[in-house]
Structure 1
Amino acid sequence: MAKKQCGFTLVTVLILTSMASIVVLNSLRENIVQERMSGNFQKKMNSRLLAEKGVFEEAKLLQQALLDDKSLDIDGLIAATGNISGIGLIGDDATYNASIAKNAAGELEISSIGERYNGDAQSNLVARFGFTPGKGGSVFENAIVGCEGVSLSASGRIDSYDSSLGDYDPDNAEAAAVIGTIYKDKDVTLSGASTIWGSVHATGSIIFSGSSPIVGSLKANNSIEIDSNFTVSTDPLLPEGFPLDTAVGGDVLSGGDVIWKQGKILGVIRANNDLIFPNNSASTVLVNKNNDGLDVMYGNTLKAPAGLAAHLEQDGILYSDTRYNESPHVELVAFQDPDNFEASKVQCDPIDIESVVNDLTDPAAEDILVKHSTTTLVVGQPETRVIYELTPEIGQSKIENQGAYVWENWLGEPPATLNYQLATINEKIDQKVLKSGGFTLNNGILKVTGGDVTLIVNGNFKMTGDSFIDIAPGSSLTLYIAGKVTMNAAAGAITMKHGLTDTGKPVFSIYSGFSEANGIDISADSDLYAAIYAPKTDVSIVANGGFSGSIRGKTVTASGRGGIHHDLNLSNVSNGGSSTTTSKLVFLGWSYKAPTPLTAEPVEEPIKPTI
């Protein structure tokens, strides 16, 4: 009898169905996990892209801030930029928040947090930028600037050096001194025996009749007259390869005429108008050392009343030939047109010094008279000498008495004591300054210590007799003066380390707001270092010792036995000159960081019941 198997098929189907269900459920679970992982990845990518957008938007603000103000330092740039936040295009729940800060290495860091789904996905992107601050122009970038004229009759050398590399040494001097004018049609007159290690640029004419050479070039908008009356330079040192009988070592470039009376020229001659040979001196020789095309070019005519000498030729062709009669289109020296100041490319007074000084001076300030008593102390003490000491916070008088600095009552009332005030200078607020009415140093010592000292003088500043200024290492003295400056110290001196302090200040500088004639008169037999800015008044320098620094005046007249040495390091003083360099941002890299978790709220412990 056959066995009965009722229900076996059903059991088999149920088993297979269960197994299939398990497989399907596992597959569904895996799909759900994969879907969630894909969703999380998409959220994370969204948050990362939002974080990147925040960096890019913050970087745009940085660039705009630099365009608005090229002279910003890193702290000013951070303050001008601020933070930024916004939303993405994919939804209101897609947000970014970016901020900027300076890290310990002095780099700029943009931190941007991107979020999606109200913080479910969050990315923190940090981008690093190197920052090079822009350098504002310096009014001391040239050796001598006479806005309305320069006249040089000194016998010492005019050259340049860099105080950041050490004190001036004639054996290591550089030929980078620049002399020039700024107002339209203003001349430079060169006489005397000063060898000029540099170039001369005139908005008017150049009249060169000195007995020493010019190492660089001459460039003038009107005419250039060369009548150098020497055969051998009086300068014991000249640049290597510079012939001793040379008048001009570089090119002669004129927007008008070139009047070539005598003197050897190593460069070329270019005249937009006439080339004139008044006497055909046989000593006139052209070298064209750089083989710069034609020796001479003139846009109008060549004039030689006595006939052109045979040696005035190139490759056997006289300078009167038509090949030389072509306009060289000499570019004019940039000038300030008094009829249109705003359109001028350069400015005589870019910082408006008269207004600056008027804002700083205090008409009620006390006069200071620093005298030297002729009384000699007894009891074996040395001759009494009054010292007026300036620090950034106080100015007071004293005498030296057995090594201690005190004031003796028998000298009478001491000069007024100055206490610092706060002022805004060059857009920097809360600067400590000392203010006085007038300041006279007569057989006394002005001692500067303790750092950068700014003295505002509402009257005249005088230094006469056997006086000197002693500026301690690491300190500086900046004078803003409304009146005249007279420094006629027969044996006086200014002792200091030349150049700039660690804070970027010239060790000694004079800013004059005086707007009448003859405002700066300096005559000294000893060495003097000064950065002088007096564009509204005349500057007269008699340098029988060496003068180092820079000079800018309405007109500048320099004479004396000593030389004038331009400190090239002064071009790093940012105080409103025409030359500027733009601040730069350099991308250094970026990295994603884990977002800072929110601080969890503390868990409250359950209250225990009391028994």
Structure 2
Amino acid sequence: MNNKQHGFTLITVLILTSMASIVVLNSLRENIVQERMSGNFQKKMNSRLLAEKGVFEEAKLLQQALLNDKTLDIDGLIAATGNASGTGLIGTDATYNASLSKNAAGELEIASLGERYNGDAQSNLVARFGFSPGKAGSPFENAIVGCEGVSLSASGRIDSYDSSLGEYEADKAEAAAVIGTVYKDKDVTLSGASTIWGSVHATGSIIFSGSSPITGSLRANNNITIDSNFTVSTDPLLPEGFPLDTAVGGDVLSAGDVIWKQGKILGVVRANNDLIFPNNSASTILVNKNNEPLDVMYGNTLKAPAGLAEHLKQDGIAYSDAKFKQSPGVELVPYQDPDNFEASKVQCDPIDIESAVNDLTDPTAEDIVVNHSTTTLVVGKPETRVIYELAPKIGQSKIANPGSYTWESWLGEPPATLNYQLATINEQVDQKVLKSGSFTLNNGNLKVTGGDVTLIVSGDFIMTGDSFIDIAVDSSLTLYISGTVSMSADDGAITMKHGLTESGKPVFSIYSGFTGPDGIDISANSDLYAAIYAPKTDVNVVANGGFSGSIRGKTVTASGDGGIHHDMSLANVGGGGTTADAKLVFLGWSYKVPNKSIEEPVESKI
């Protein structure tokens, strides 16, 4: 019986050993699978991190391209950026390759492929960005800019409108006109009876003593003096909801003192230095229309020599209380520092107009004199007087003799014929231009038709007497002038459709490179539209008719009762030097299927 059980123990051990081996092998196989899964996950994470690095590196190139040229559009930005590629820190087999493109929705896409182990692991990451291109600044984006000072004594309204929506109409005007200075410590003086539908920004002080209101805010780097000497505005068309007894419709913000003699203010008052009430006028009233926590704030002292009036309180607490004595931190109006022009945030003359005009003018060009004194212009009827015509489509200027009129010897020598030449203007090559010496209209007619005309005047441009400039629809006249401009036609006029042509040019514009005093003097009894750029000389405008457009001069003095109306569409005219920064907005990212498939490793069989 015992002999039959020989070897049973061995068989039992073998069975148990086999079972243990199976368990161990199964465990080993599971460990191998887990290890491979962990390895694959690690490789995948490596490839994803590499793809993200590619996106970041490409984004750096993108931002650098924008810093180099803020005016690039989306296609130019893609061309200027290039592609990013490289390796990770974990090994030379860890690579990324990123590229930039525009998708069907007009968005920027950065596609980045991250790879590890020579492509065994791949991740394709796509990041989307919204893009708003930078906008070239315009020298005409404000109503009036006097680099070294502005003085307004006009009695007509100063407001704004958009010529792309139609001609100026007083009852459709907007309160968006901006008046300001550029050089450090330069003042704006407001007297007369002009209602200003807009705001005033001075790099120096603002002296407001006019008899009409300002609907917007006052902001100055030095002091603001408010001495408005009126009780009720005479403007019959003030903005909706604007009280008739208001001097300033917005805030008064000064980095220096606020000297508040009289006048009602709808906003708040902020002075980094002193708040002064010289006369303790009962008409000094503050409304604080936006219900800010403090009516007034001043960083230094409240001064009221005659004592503080009873109504100068907020919630029963006098403005002299310590709660109001805290610096409001009014920011400075950006200015150009004469000691460091290049570092300044703004430029008086971003075009460098003197050099531009000097490069264009021809001292040998003939003077043009259109001199006649017979019949006056009657719109819609045959013209009997001589017209000097400029039309780019005919290739040259000409004397147009309507009807049977011929040039009479008693008129002297006929004006010269100007032939078109090619020139580079604002970095645009092969622009057709006409060049003359001085150009005089003395009871004469100048007609512009057929498109955009650029006239380079080496001397002075003079318009006197019964003179007319007639600019046809879809045509424009651009003057580059090295001398002075004098337009004082007694009964003459400039007739045109206001605004910009289809090519984006102002219908009538003057670019003056003159560097002496009183370079531009305009006195017109009829309506005038002009974009004036004269940062090296003084501009004097007497607008007894309505002046529409924009004015930039070394100093600007405006008077007359016709009003000044800023055409906001002129902000689309480039050449201002400064730019609005382009904007990139991150919209999101997603991982996509890799460009090439990943082969799974062959699994060993136990």
TM-score by length of 1: 0.77
CA-CA distance at 1:58 after TM superposition? 9.6
Which of 539-548 and 276-285 deviates more?
276-285
Q: Residues 22-61 of structure 1: matches in 2 within 5 Å?
A: none
Which of 447-456 and 177-186 deviates more?
447-456
Q: Structure 2: how far apart are the matches of 1:472 and 1:396?
A: 15
CA-CA distance at 1:258 after TM superposition? 0.9
Q: Percent identity?
A: 76
CA contact (8 A) 1:66 1:583 kept: no
- Whether 2:407 is the aligned partner of 1:408: answer yes
Q: Residues 55-134 of structure 1: matches in 2 within 5 Å?
A: 65-73=65-73, 133-134=133-134
Call closer, same or farther: CA 1:106–1:359 in 2, change over 3 Å. Answer: farther
Match of 1:475 in 2: 475
CA-CA distance at 1:68 after TM superposition? 2.2
Match of 2:294 in 1: 294
CA-CA distance at 1:165 after TM superposition? 1.2
Match of 1:564 in 2: 564
Match of 2:135 in 1: 135
Query: Deviations for 1:296-328, whole angstroms, at most 9, x for unmatched residues?
Result: 111111111111111111111111111111111
Q: Structure 1: how far apart are the matches of 2:128 and 2:258?
A: 57
Match of 2:387 in 1: 386
Q: Secondary structure at the match of 2:247?
A: strand
Call closer, same or farther: CA 1:477–1:585 in 2, change over 3 Å. Answer: farther
Match of 1:531 in 2: 531
Q: Secondary structure at the match of 1:419?
A: coil
Q: Secondary structure at the match of 1:138?
A: coil
Which of 529-538 and 431-440 deviates more?
431-440
Query: Deviations for 1:399-419, whole angstroms, at most 9, x for unmatched residues?
Result: 4432x7x85364554212112
CA-CA distance at 1:132 after TM superposition? 5.7
Q: Structure 2: how far apart are the matches of 1:530 and 1:408?
A: 31
Match of 2:540 in 1: 540
Match of 1:228 in 2: 228
Q: Secondary structure at the match of 2:285?
A: coil
CA contact (8 A) 2:539 2:557 kept: yes
Q: Structure 1: how far apart are the matches of 2:87 and 2:295?
A: 67
Call closer, same or farther: CA 1:589–1:565 in 2, change over 3 Å. Answer: same
Match of 1:187 in 2: 187
Amino acid at match of 1:432: K
Runs of 5+ in structure 2 lacking a partner?
1-52, 113-126, 594-606
Q: Secondary structure at the match of 1:357?
A: helix
TM-score by length of 2: 0.77
Amino acid at match of 2:524: A
Q: Secondary structure at the match of 1:248?
A: coil
Q: Structure 2: how far apart are the matches of 1:194 and 1:532?
A: 21
Match of 1:505 in 2: 505
Amino acid at match of 1:162: D
CA-CA distance at 1:256 after TM superposition? 1.0
Which of 67-76 and 583-592 deviates more?
583-592
Query: Deviations for 1:113-151, whole angstroms, at most 9, x for unmatched residues?
Result: xxxxxxxxxxxxxx9999764320111111100010000
Q: Structure 2: how far apart are the matches of 1:57 and 1:314?
A: 55
Q: Residues 186-335 of structure 1: matches in 2 within 5 Å?
A: 186-335=186-335
Query: Deviations for 1:246-299, whole angstroms, at most 9, x for unmatched residues?
Result: 000111111111111111111111111111111111111111111112111111
CA contact (8 A) 1:384 1:399 kept: no
Q: Structure 2: how far apart are the matches of 1:164 and 1:555?
A: 29
CA-CA distance at 1:99 after TM superposition? 11
Which of 419-428 and 393-402 deviates more?
393-402
Call closer, same or farther: CA 1:327–1:509 in 2, change over 3 Å. Answer: same
CA contact (8 A) 1:461 1:485 kept: yes
Match of 1:465 in 2: 465
Call closer, same or farther: CA 1:107–1:280 in 2, change over 3 Å. Answer: closer
Which of 341-350 and 191-200 deviates more?
341-350
Q: Structure 1: how far apart are the matches of 2:63 and 2:332?
A: 34
Q: Structure 1: how far apart are the matches of 2:529 and 2:102?
A: 41
Q: Structure 2: how far apart are the matches of 1:253 and 1:373?
A: 54
Match of 2:398 in 1: 397
Q: Secondary structure at the match of 2:323?
A: helix
Q: Structure 1: how far apart are the matches of 2:511 and 2:285?
A: 44
Call closer, same or farther: CA 1:61–1:300 in 2, change over 3 Å. Answer: closer
- Whether 2:514 is the aligned partner of 1:514: answer yes
CA-CA distance at 1:453 after TM superposition? 1.4
Call closer, same or farther: CA 1:447–1:586 in 2, change over 3 Å. Answer: farther
Match of 2:448 in 1: 448
Match of 2:576 in 1: 576
Q: Secondary structure at the match of 2:358?
A: helix
Q: Secondary structure at the match of 1:398?
A: strand
Q: Structure 2: how far apart are the matches of 1:434 and 1:79?
A: 36
CA contact (8 A) 2:54 2:84 kept: yes
Query: Deviations for 1:373-428, whole angstroms, at most 9, x for unmatched residues?
Result: 5499xxx98642333324266442324432x7x85364554212112211111111
Query: Deviations for 1:492-527, whole angstroms, at most 9, x for unmatched residues?
Result: 222222111122111111111101100010010111
Which of 498-507 and 174-183 deviates more?
498-507
Call closer, same or farther: CA 1:462–1:102 in 2, change over 3 Å. Answer: farther
Amino acid at match of 2:402: N
Amino acid at match of 2:155: S
Which of 426-435 and 151-160 deviates more?
426-435
Q: Structure 1: how far apart are the matches of 2:86 and 2:330?
A: 57
CA contact (8 A) 2:387 2:447 kept: no
> How many correspondences in the alignment?
530
Call closer, same or farther: CA 1:466–1:107 in 2, change over 3 Å. Answer: farther
Amino acid at match of 2:285: V
Q: Structure 2: how far apart are the matches of 1:519 and 1:428?
A: 27
CA-CA distance at 1:444 after TM superposition? 1.8
Q: Structure 2: how far apart are the matches of 1:131 and 1:496?
A: 38
Amino acid at match of 2:288: N
Q: Secondary structure at the match of 1:246?
A: coil
Amino acid at match of 1:419: N
Q: Structure 1: how far apart are the matches of 2:388 and 2:134?
A: 41
Which of 437-446 and 137-146 deviates more?
437-446
CA-CA distance at 1:88 after TM superposition? 11
Q: Structure 1: how far apart are the matches of 2:269 and 2:98?
A: 63
Amino acid at match of 2:442: N
CA contact (8 A) 1:183 1:337 kept: yes
Call closer, same or farther: CA 1:133–1:294 in 2, change over 3 Å. Answer: closer
Query: Deviations for 1:148-173, whole angstroms, at most 9, x for unmatched residues?
Result: 00000000000011111111111111
Runs of 5+ in structure 1 lacking a partner?
1-52, 113-126, 593-611
Q: Structure 2: how far apart are the matches of 1:413 and 1:370?
A: 10
CA contact (8 A) 1:393 1:434 kept: no
